[in-house]
Structure 1
């Protein structure tokens, strides 16, 4: 499909630079086959049905943004995928000053050697020493805010909490599964009281999620792979919910992409562990989910293509036009939508 079909104009003032407070005070646009409904995230217990299951991503964002030097050259690195116990693939700023075998000093006793430049321009960074890389990043790294926020303000101490979900347990993401940022323990209790269950899986979100689609046709776009895992117990729960007539609703496109990677043509979700580079565009037949809660996405992005595949392009164009007109806040720290085909 032509990528221009997924373009739209977004006023820059609609981009949220801070999350709602409290988290569940964010607005929620409910998109169904029969129309649009302006609600808030706190209304979820009234909007969902008893027997539904929400699926959250329990990945934890690591301080994956690094600033360093090779000699007199300043080098910036954003880690996006682990490739070994001490090796991370990274997008590098000022990469033209870097050669294979060069060492980058990130300060605080943290350094890495650049290896194996890929076709997409990324480098493999081999971190020196014996300490776990996660400890090195805690010393030298900072929270990797999305570029549309980082371009307007610097990351600060608030982001260390604001950019983690309440489910964050498995370190490895360089971007938050942002739909889950809206949830609080109190909201989860109210959902449970309403008969809405929840489960977790793990997908370590990579920085590739922010990369624009540069191809003119979706068929020519290559997704970056991300590592994920669904264990047997979780797969069994998802299948049991649907077998008894409940709905499996992914919270975030990351959860949805992993469930769809694990689901077969028979609509059964099976255990999964490994990389996925699934790219969902209109025409895709969903096999593992019945709905999606997600934030509002960038024009021409793979994520806007995904929601258009779930609900239909015209319906999502209308929903986004409604959201812009009604003052909804967009992107990672913005408001949410609940998409129910």
Structure 2
């Protein structure tokens, strides 16, 4: 007979203790996860504050160094603008040089590329020193003065570029461009691939022929071997427009000989209707009157941009001379972020 005090075999308190222990462990894990998230947030906040504090500094000296960093970073951006302006000017200046032998815009663009490179080097070296000051001040008045003298060099190059291209609105400049276009057309078309391509693209895209008019081609070196004793005119295909079937403003001439890259024509007269397939129709406008205003507008853009950059550079140079008086001359300045460092 079983005793009443004997615990039945089916009763076991262990599962209840295990379940309770599991619940406690889950709660502990959740609490630790919450604590870890909170700790991560606090660490991120501290990192953010630490980064911001590098630019919003506690001491006057550190605020000065952070201001120098921002100032030279803005000047670095002007260097980028110089490089963009220089590249654009060189590209357009090459076209002007091919068509008219005028290299003013090309050299103005080249000067801006040189200025942009110098600008970047000066700003990069100064920004590098300013970044060092966030831990221990390394920027001195000597370094800022050296940067200001570098910007004075940029000023002189800008002034030389302005003087070089300032006559873009003068009638003499227009005459030089037109004469240059006539000379390249009559002497270099057909012998220089760049000039030949430039002239063909200009005449096709702008709907023009010759520097002044179509007759400029008749005396060209390129046309001389083809021209006949009868005085027939030789024209490149890029001078021709197709029949419009109606009113037009063009010169029309009889076809003597037609080749893939040129045509020989005669009896050229002004016509008002272009509807015959038995004639060639020549653009009536000279390319000079279309190209010169475009060149002048582009050079004026370059001139105004260079003047604007010159003003910015002048202000920056004056500011740097004033700034140099606020910095130590030779020694390194102890920063608020390195209180244990001593002045050298």
TM-score range, shorter chain: under 0.3
Structure number having the greater helix percentage: 2
Structure number having the greater strand percentage: 1
Provide the TM-score with structure 1 as the length reference: 0.20
Between 1 and 2, higher relative CO (CA 8 Å, sep ≥ 6) is seen in 1
